[in-house]
Amino acid sequence: MRQMTSPDWEPFNADQLIHTGRLVPVHPLTKGLYERNARRIIKQVVDLAAPQVHDYLPATVQERANLLPLPEALAQMHFPDSPELLERARHRLGFDEFLFIQLGVIQRRILWQGELGYAVNVDEAVHADLLAKLPFALTGAQQRTLAEIFADMCRPVPMARLLQGDVGSGKTIVAAAALLQAVAAGLQGALMAPTEILAEQHYKGLRQLLGQVRVPRKPTDSTGQPLDDWKSEADAEQLARLEELKRLLNMVPEDDLGGEGVRVALLTGSLGVKDRRRVLEAIANGEVDLVIGTHALITEGVQYQSLGLVVIDEQHRFGVEQRERLKQKGLNPHMLVMTATPIPRTLTLTIYGDLDTSVLDELPPGRQEIKTRWITRIEREKAYRHMRKEIGKGRQAFVICPLVEESEKIDLPSAEETYVQLQNEVFPDLRVGLIHGRMLPREKDLAMRAFRDHEFDILVATAVVEVGIDVPNATTIMIDGAERFGLAQLHQFRGRVGRGEHQSYCILVSDIDNEVTQQRLEAMEGTHDGFKLAEIDLQLRGPGEFLGKRQSGTPDLKVARLADTRLLHAANREAQQILAEDPQLERAEHAPLRAKVRDFWEKAEGAS
């Protein structure tokens, strides 16, 4: 006998069915709130309020993009008459969210590039000299990216470009070639790094490389005016000043009139007062061509003579306010933002939509693949034996932990307890170091320098070593609690090894065996392409988890789905057409849209 258990029913009225006989919405509830009551009240509110909502999109835009009117879309989103109308309602509301994002980021681009800047013509001889000094040939991706950057720099508007490249793809040499062209044009360059130790690494590498490339320049007097006869006009005081500057910059004296290498300076908090003052004077006087440091490079005390290009390395939080300060340091300098975190195309259009994008999707030949394996905690002894074997060959190892200190609520390894265990129980005969985010910046830099200089065999760390640490002698990284990190982050950790000539290894430790974790860790074992891993991570965890706390000011999407690339591109095209006709949305027909865009971005940035 057929029967129905606890059926939902309501008196039949073809025009007023709410709970049955239609697509029925299901709402999240709280204690004391019942679904039928909530649904009935919401239906009353939607029926009364939706028709009164003013549509902020002009009719021409709605027609061009084939969109439902906003009142109808809101009503159908809550109580759809058919699956087709539900999908069209989602399309309209998702389109709106993407449109607000695209209008905001494109307006930022217009603001950045709205004034004239430096047009830098490429000096082919200087570029050829740089290529001749390199011990390797540029990859096709590097050549293509440089062509895009040089084309931007030749224009008299400020470049705004994002350079994405997987770990080891050669972003630094691309940045060096761009900075060299700015210097060859008589301008200054600046490279901003997120940490002092990364700034120091860039300084040592670029000083050595660019110091060999001869850049034609005429000597100047103390006021910056060219000298026609250097040897006769230069007085003893000026010569002494230049010799002191060369000492400070570790420069090798060159012949006076034939050109010299790029003059590179390091500006960090570790400089003494006297040396810092001297470097600041040299930057202001134009005696430094390229200055490398942290975000302090755009602070009030730093003045440039002619800042033409700024390269920003791994600065995920470099937003509108910082860019405005950057503009004030020169005549609208060119800007190149670099990241080693591969970002899916849809996220690039939303987060970095105000930047043109170049992608280094090719690794230099000869790089060894890092062998990656997922193990459980009970197998850690095998990992320790492997680490001891590698250290016995003179190599070093990282051990990554998700927590700084032990937690009663979370059963995960902490850096502090792991450090004590490894030093006292597992490797008492080896040198173990510790670094985590609660240490002072100087303490972290000292720990990393000590590891780089091989004063430690093993460095126990948290996520502070995720980017920018170059220790070619490190060949093993063990990541405990690997399920706590995203794929992009795990890939970044893996990139801390494999930077030298020796075979390297990545060991993922996790006991969590749910489906998503298994898919992610298996992807790490089988995939070494950071862009593929980023796409997988976005699909499995969504944009919020993918970005974590590293990206501030990212809009919260309520309806739009980042997987819907076609909708995002449609919104991008529409935003460009709207702003081509009305860059500031000043027309009366765009006033409601302008208010919505402003509110949307204020909420996004206020929540960060």
Q: Are 415 and 471 part of one and the same domain?
A: yes
pLDDT, residue 5, reads 67
The secondary structure of 518-555 as a DSSP string is HHHHHHHHH---HHHHHHHHHHHHHHHHHHTTSSTT--
pLDDT at 398: 96
Residues 289 and 161 reside in one and the same domain: yes
- 338 within 8 A of 175, measured Cβ to Cβ: yes
Is 90 within a domain? Answer: no
Q: Could you list the mean pLDDT of each consecutive 10-residue stretch along the chain, which spans 608 residues?
A: 66 59 70 74 84 93 93 90 92 93 87 82 92 91 95 92 85 95 93 85 90 72 42 46 54 41 88 86 92 85 91 69 74 88 72 81 79 92 95 95 74 86 94 90 85 94 77 94 87 88 93 83 89 79 50 64 81 92 91 90 65
Q: Note whether residue 49 is domain-resident.
A: no
What whole-number distance in Å separates Cα of residue 581 and Cα of residue 578?
Answer: 5
Quick one: DSSP state of residue 589?
G
Contacting residues for 498 by C-beta, under 8 A, at least 6 apart: 168, 367, 368, 369, 370, 475, 504
Secondary element (H or E) of residue 158: none
Q: Are residues 401 and 523 in the same domain?
A: yes
Residue where a domain stops, chosen among 465, 494, 527 = 527
Burial zone of 547 (CB within 10 Å; 0-12 exposed, 13-18 middle, 19+ buried)? buried
89 in a structural domain: no
Please state, in angstroms and as integers, the Cα–Cα distance from residue 300 to each residue in 194, 295, 311, 322, 436, following that order.
Answer: 18, 11, 18, 12, 30
Which residue type, as a one-letter code, is found at position 198? L
pLDDT at 21: 52
Asked whether residue 405 is assigned to any structural domain, the reply reads yes
pLDDT of res. 141:
92
CA distance 225 to 229: 12
What single-letter DSSP state applies at residue 291? Answer: E
- CATH of residue 130: 3.40.50.300
Number of independent structural domains in the chain? 2
Same domain? 345 vs 466 = no
In what helix (H) or strand (E) does residue 66 lie, and over which residues does it extend?
Answer: none
Residues 388, 344 within the same domain: no
Q: Does residue 439 lie within any of the structural domains?
A: yes
Which burial class, exposed, middle or buried, applies to 537 when counting CB atoms under 10 A from its CB (0-12, 13-18, 19+)? buried
Evaluate whether residue 180 is within a structural domain.
yes
* 406 and 310 assigned to the same domain: no
**φ, ψ for residue 215, nearest 5 deg:** -110, 115
In a domain, 204, yes or no: yes
Q: Which of 506, 527, 548 is the last residue of a domain?
A: 527
Looking at the fold, whether 299 and 404 belong to one and the same domain comes out as: no
Say if residue 426 is in the same domain as residue 387: yes
Domain annotation covers residue 94:
no
425 Cβ contact partners less than 8 Å away, ≥ 6 residues apart: none
Q: Does residue 228 sit in the same domain as residue 260?
A: yes
Q: 48: left (phi > 0), else alpha (psi -120 to 50), else beta?
A: alpha
Query: The tokens 């709970």 sit on which residue?
Result: 19
Domain shared by 221 and 321, yes or no: yes
CB atoms within 10 A of CB 200: 20
Indicate whether 380 and 519 sit together in one domain.
Answer: yes
* DSSP-derived pairing of the beta strands 356-360 and 160-165: parallel
Q: Looking at the structure, tell me whether residues 272 and 137 fall in a common domain.
A: yes
Domain that holds residue 501: 371-527
472 three-class SS: coil
Please state the separation of Cα 89 from the chain's center in Å: 33
Name the domain boundary from 329, 360, 391. Answer: 360
Cβ atoms of 363 and 442 within 8 Å: the answer is: no
